[in-house]
Amino acid sequence: MNRPAVFFDRDGVLNEDIGYLHERTKFRWTPGAREAVKAVNDVGYLAFVVTNQSGVARGLYEEADVRDLHAWMAEELAAVGAHVDAFEYCPHHPEATVEPYRRSCMCRKPGPGMITNLMNRFQVDPVRSFLIGDRLTDVEAATRAGIRGYLFEGPDLQQFIRSRLSRTG
């Protein structure tokens, strides 16, 4: 049975976008972010994070740093009874300084790859699913994956998500 899902962009949606974030000491949740993930969980939707992480391609940090930060985020969410079903990230960039990461790929938003991979892996219902991002490239990725995309400009992610969940029922 296909389940609906909410795909969250990370930087600028779940946390303040400070540029190339990879350290938990610099991480700041956006207002209502943890509660928004819990609201998604409470209505039975899958919760995913899809994030471009070109800092890896630029040599600013390692993939292990991204995974460690995501594990820490999962712990923080668990403390409020929330969870993310899967974290996906794209470490590639066409102008990378780290050679193995220099490429154009379909997983880097606005490409739909991260979203479609999760949709296939978890048998997601595209009709009731949507993405929340803070850039037009996020919304474009959602459209290309066959789901709705919403632009989040603040201030409170919990209020924003509740109004979107009530529309999709």
Residue 57: what residue type? A
Q: Which is the catalytic residue, given 11, 65, 68, 85?
A: 11
The answer on whether 92 is annotated among ligand-binding residues is yes
The answer on whether 105 is annotated among ligand-binding residues is yes
Torsions phi, psi for 60 (to 5 deg): -85, -25
How far is 30 from 9, CA to CA, in rounded Å?
Answer: 12
The answer on whether 65 is annotated among ligand-binding residues is no
Is 9 a known active-site residue? Answer: yes
State the sign of the Cα–Cα–Cα–Cα dihedral 159, 136, 69, 7: positive
The answer on whether 11 is annotated among ligand-binding residues is yes
The answer on whether 125 is annotated among ligand-binding residues is no
Q: Which is the catalytic residue, given 9, 17, 65, 138?
A: 9
How far is 159 from 157, CA to CA, in rounded Å?
Answer: 5
Is 125 a known active-site residue? Answer: no
Indicate the annotated binding residues for Mg(2+): 9, 11, 134
The annotated binding site for Zn(2+) is made up of 90, 92, 105, 107
Active site residues: 9, 11
The binding site comprises: 9, 11, 90, 92, 105, 107, 134
